[in-house]
Structure 1
Amino acid sequence: MPKVDSAALGKEPISKLLIQQSAPASIGILVMSLNILVDTIFVGNWIGSTAIAAINVVLPISFFIAALGMSIGIGGSSIISRALGANNHKKALKTFGNQISLTVLLTTSFVIAGLWFINDLIPAFGGKGDIFEPAKIYYRIVLYGVPILGLNMMGSNVIRAEGKPKFAMAAMIFPSIGNLIADYFFINVFDWGMAGAAWATTGSYFVCFLYIFWFFLSDNSELKIALHHFQLKLDILKEIASLGFVTLARQAVVSVTYLLMNNILYKLGGETSVTVYAIIARMLVFALFPVLGVTQGFLPIAGYNYGAKQPERVRETINKAILYASILALMVFSLIMFFPQEIVSVFTNDKSILKETPIAMRWVFAAVPIIALQLIGSAYFQAIGKAMPAFLLTLTRQGFFFIPLILILPKYFGILGVWISFPLADVISTIVTGFFLNREIRLHLKPSEMKSTSAKY
């Protein structure tokens, strides 16, 4: 891969940059989500449909801990992008060193707590009845590798902040391929069941870590940190925390959502409904990979040009990112609406699940064509370092709207109330985000405003 300097983010045409940044991010997310999807297919066909529900119970717990690394990575990467844009290399190095120290400390602490309360957490997240034992097996093994996963998520975001999306893509591809190969041998050949699925996942984290570790030691990275950069600095920690808290809060709400969904669905329809949601949750990640890729590609471009005080380029980045992501979202919507039965049949041959899932999936994806505005809008405030609006807009969909809806609507519409909560939350949160993004562009993306406020943020 040719060496790319981060300064290109402030010079190249925006359309070209968005493609350069988004395509690798999309491919990386595609491979990662394919990994999760195929992993689910393997588990469903080789172990059983209850195993799919078991993994769905465990993921929000382990991913919340790993999200500490993601939040530190995204929060610090916003600082790094703006620091590189302002030619402040010293601050970028200090930030990266602090990111590593903070990730190790926090993820390790939470893993210890997660293992200590294992018997309480699994039932709380819906791991009841036949789901409990396989969930416990999977949870314990996967949690061992979560600190490494946290470092991986942090590191891949820093790689993007340097303007090296192809390397970030590779960091997602290598472990995904390794996991699928390990899945085949550990589950199908060695017949290790849930333990095999868990060890395959944990092993993939270490593969990713080795690649990221190599990247930062090689000449491809501009961030050559020394031992003194690992020393925690309060001012940098505060800035990382204020921005990273947005991502952490989002994942916390996702975990709470899983908790509520699994328990509500278990009460309404038992293990079958929990399995239906598990399949749809994986399809949400898989099907939306191009939209999420554009959002990932958007972040370093917006952050760098904001730091470089180029408001016109920032405005163009916002407009084109929303346009491209919306077109991709419409394509995803069409695929789900026309082929839900065929998609579900790949996961299982259970007749009850095949009957219920396509209907639910259509409802869940009903408002997908408009979600680009919500994703790009909330990501913009995070990219430019405005933590509070980023935090509030991030919580609009699931925290402020979706959770209240799934608590209220099922009382009147039963299980249908759960599924129609998805598009209602998407529509309302998109309207709110659009209002605040439009106001921000009109009021603050002016040359005079950029000069006077960039130092503040």
Structure 2
Amino acid sequence: MAQLNRLETESVWRTFVRYLVPSLVGMLLMAVNFVVDGVMVGNRLGPVALAGVGIAQPVYTVFLAMSIWIGVGAATLYSQHMGAKLYEQAQHIFTQALFLIFGSTLIIGVTALFFREPLAYALGANADTYPYVSRYMHVLLLFGFVFTIENALSVFVRNDGNPNLAMVSLMTTALVNIALNYVFLYVFNWGVTGAALSTILAAVLGILVLCLHFFTKTNHLRFVRSTFDKRLFVRSVVIGFPSFLSEVGISVFTLAHNVTLKYIAGTDGVAAFSVLNYVHSVMLMAFLGLGAAIQPLISYFHGAQNRAREQQTMKIAIWTAVAAGSLSFLVGLLAARPIVAIFGDFPQDIMALAVTGVRLFFIAYLFMGVNFVMMTYYQSIGHVGMATWITAAREIVVMLAFLLILPPLFGINGVWLAIPLSEIVVLATIYAYHRRHF
């Protein structure tokens, strides 16, 4: 138990950095991978194909949400049990979670495959983008269970005291995906099908890297004989629900913006949003990395009833989020045009829409990081109701309300401002809740 015992002996700052750096590096590499994916598709296949891939992205996000729902919930319970020295129960939690994630995502993917066409149009496809959406979705639906297993296993490996291997796995996945994207798009000319296949094959290699953890001396993860435990399942899905809702919120965010912009600005608006969404993925991954770093720590300290280390971790995390958000806002404000230009030589109309979108949307990052940190905190200590509110409000309830109210008043700028205003409202509710309960 040497790696986990370090959580109780080394300084909080050192522990935070030891988990933060691998999480951030891994997540940012995945974000860069996602962006390079868009750059290659946009430059090789053009803005319509890029829009098609962007429309299909909610399918990937829903699969990821399923793995996070069960994975983060179960991993939080795993760390709490490890902190409380209940090792056998922790191993049952791990075994049940992996089997549930595999089975549920396989069934959902195969079922949705038969309804691919109506699903594509429901996500915002039109006659121009449907062929690209359909081909991309076909691969994701058929093999999506691969990256759900990779993501869930990565969460458990990180919670088992090996954040560095989780980082190496993400690095491997990202670099292999970039290489395969180039081969499939530029050498084999497989179009968006090749882009989707590269994602799946890279995830397979990521799983193989994560499996190395089972051969280390510090490994506590074990597949054990285990019957279905309804109580553990319910606790896992309740605790993991805010994380699931966060990923579903990304799908709602993408779908709502695609549909709104399709009616306001047509295919140009959807293409501009696709560029913004790729850029947004970088900061989103950074904040997810921050959350992934503190989740094992807060869960373990809470299970061990070590309130002092729990509070110190949160103070460091909040200041880190504020600094990262402020820097990102300044980058978006000053470098919007060169950022957009990375994705291709777009017509002037699309370029103008995307540049304005980046400058207005990046206001959200001043508040988003703190909201992510607080959601993870409430989730890890069992205040699931508040964690659920944060995720539901940010990208579903409050955002949809602003998307209905702002565009009639401010046109397309109202679309770009929906998320920043949502983040401000959510942060205000967090402040009020925390003052009342803590």
What range describes the TM-score normalised by the shorter chain of this pair? over 0.9
Are the equivalent residues in 2 in contact too, given 1:31–1:173 (CA < 8 A)? Answer: yes
Give unpaired runs (5+ residues) of structure 2: none
| Structure 1 residue 218 displacement after superposition | 4.2
Counterpart for residue 128 of structure 2: 130
Partners of 1:422 and 1:235 lie apart in 2 by 37
Partners of 1:431 and 1:196 lie apart in 2 by 44
Distance 1:387 1:222, change over 3 A: same
| Structure 1 residue 217 displacement after superposition | 4.7
* Equivalent residues in 2 for 1:414-429, closer than 5 Å: 414-429=411-426
Partners of 2:350 and 2:425 lie apart in 1 by 30
Counterpart for residue 97 of structure 2: 99
Q: What residue identity is the alignment partner of 1:130?
A: D
Paired residue secondary structure (2:189): coil
Paired residue secondary structure (2:345): coil
Select which of 49, 52, 69 maps to 1:51. 49
* Residue 397 in structure 1 maps to residue 394 in structure 2: yes
| Structure 1 residue 256 displacement after superposition | 2.3
Select which of 346, 349, 362 maps to 1:352. 349
Counterpart for residue 384 of structure 1: 381
Paired residue secondary structure (1:129): coil
Q: What residue identity is the alignment partner of 1:170?
A: V
Partners of 1:295 and 1:437 lie apart in 2 by 18
| Structure 1 residue 150 displacement after superposition | 0.8
Are the equivalent residues in 2 in contact too, given 1:306–1:314 (CA < 8 A)? Answer: yes
Select which of 258, 261, 283 maps to 1:262. 258
After superposition, give the CA deviation of every residue in 1:278-329 in whole Å (9 maximum; x if it has no partner): 1111111213444332221111111111111111111111111101121121
Select which of 425, 429, 432 maps to 2:429. 432
Are the equivalent residues in 1 in contact too, given 2:94–2:222 (CA < 8 A)? Answer: no
Partners of 1:66 and 1:300 lie apart in 2 by 19
Are the equivalent residues in 2 in contact too, given 1:409–1:421 (CA < 8 A)? Answer: yes
* Equivalent residues in 2 for 1:100-179, closer than 5 Å: 100-179=98-177
Are the equivalent residues in 1 in contact too, given 2:110–2:141 (CA < 8 A)? Answer: no
Partners of 2:221 and 2:236 lie apart in 1 by 17
* Residue 84 in structure 1 maps to residue 85 in structure 2: no
Are the equivalent residues in 2 in contact too, given 1:275–1:353 (CA < 8 A)? Answer: yes
Counterpart for residue 273 of structure 1: 269
Select which of 289, 293, 297 maps to 1:297. 293
Are the equivalent residues in 1 in contact too, given 2:33–2:178 (CA < 8 A)? Answer: yes
Q: What residue identity is the alignment partner of 1:196?
A: G
Counterpart for residue 334 of structure 1: 330
Partners of 1:312 and 1:281 lie apart in 2 by 39
Are the equivalent residues in 1 in contact too, given 2:61–2:248 (CA < 8 A)? Answer: no
With normalisation by structure 2, the TM-score equals 0.96
After superposition, give the CA deviation of every residue in 1:358-402 in whole Å (9 maximum; x if it has no partner): 111111111312222211111111112332222122212122211
Partners of 1:281 and 1:4 lie apart in 2 by 41
Are the equivalent residues in 1 in contact too, given 2:71–2:152 (CA < 8 A)? Answer: yes
Partners of 1:74 and 1:288 lie apart in 2 by 17
* Residue 287 in structure 1 maps to residue 283 in structure 2: yes
Are the equivalent residues in 1 in contact too, given 2:65–2:245 (CA < 8 A)? Answer: no
Partners of 1:370 and 1:414 lie apart in 2 by 24
Are the equivalent residues in 1 in contact too, given 2:82–2:300 (CA < 8 A)? Answer: yes
After superposition, give the CA deviation of every residue in 1:401-443 in whole Å (9 maximum; x if it has no partner): 1111112211222211111112111111111122223444x2x
The RMSD of aligned alpha carbons is 1.5
Partners of 1:30 and 1:250 lie apart in 2 by 18
Q: What residue identity is the alignment partner of 2:235?
A: E
Q: What residue identity is the alignment partner of 2:76?
A: S
Mean Cα deviation higher: 46-55 or 386-395: 386-395
| Structure 1 residue 142 displacement after superposition | 2.1
Counterpart for residue 445 of structure 1: none
Are the equivalent residues in 2 in contact too, given 1:377–1:437 (CA < 8 A)? Answer: no
Are the equivalent residues in 2 in contact too, given 1:50–1:271 (CA < 8 A)? Answer: yes
Select which of 204, 217, 234 maps to 1:238. 234
Partners of 2:341 and 2:376 lie apart in 1 by 35
After superposition, give the CA deviation of every residue in 1:103-131 in whole Å (9 maximum; x if it has no partner): 01210111022101101111111111210
Mean Cα deviation higher: 359-368 or 389-398: 389-398
Q: What residue identity is the alignment partner of 2:163?
A: P
After superposition, give the CA deviation of every residue in 1:227-253 in whole Å (9 maximum; x if it has no partner): x13x32111101111112222222223
Are the equivalent residues in 1 in contact too, given 2:261–2:269 (CA < 8 A)? Answer: yes
Are the equivalent residues in 2 in contact too, given 1:21–1:165 (CA < 8 A)? Answer: yes
| Structure 1 residue 143 displacement after superposition | 2.1
Partners of 2:435 and 2:15 lie apart in 1 by 23
* Residue 410 in structure 1 maps to residue 407 in structure 2: yes
After superposition, give the CA deviation of every residue in 1:127-150 in whole Å (9 maximum; x if it has no partner): 112100011011101222210111
Counterpart for residue 185 of structure 1: 183
Are the equivalent residues in 2 in contact too, given 1:145–1:205 (CA < 8 A)? Answer: no
Partners of 1:263 and 1:329 lie apart in 2 by 28
Mean Cα deviation higher: 56-65 or 41-50: 56-65
Q: What residue identity is the alignment partner of 2:414?
A: G
Are the equivalent residues in 1 in contact too, given 2:173–2:206 (CA < 8 A)? Answer: yes
Give unpaired runs (5+ residues) of structure 1: 443-457
Select which of 345, 363, 366 maps to 2:363. 366
Q: What residue identity is the alignment partner of 1:185?
A: V
Partners of 1:421 and 1:224 lie apart in 2 by 45
Select which of 285, 301, 306 maps to 1:310. 306
* Residue 214 in structure 1 maps to residue 221 in structure 2: no
Partners of 1:320 and 1:304 lie apart in 2 by 17
| Structure 1 residue 264 displacement after superposition | 1.0
With normalisation by structure 1, the TM-score equals 0.92
Partners of 2:33 and 2:409 lie apart in 1 by 37
Paired residue secondary structure (1:339): helix
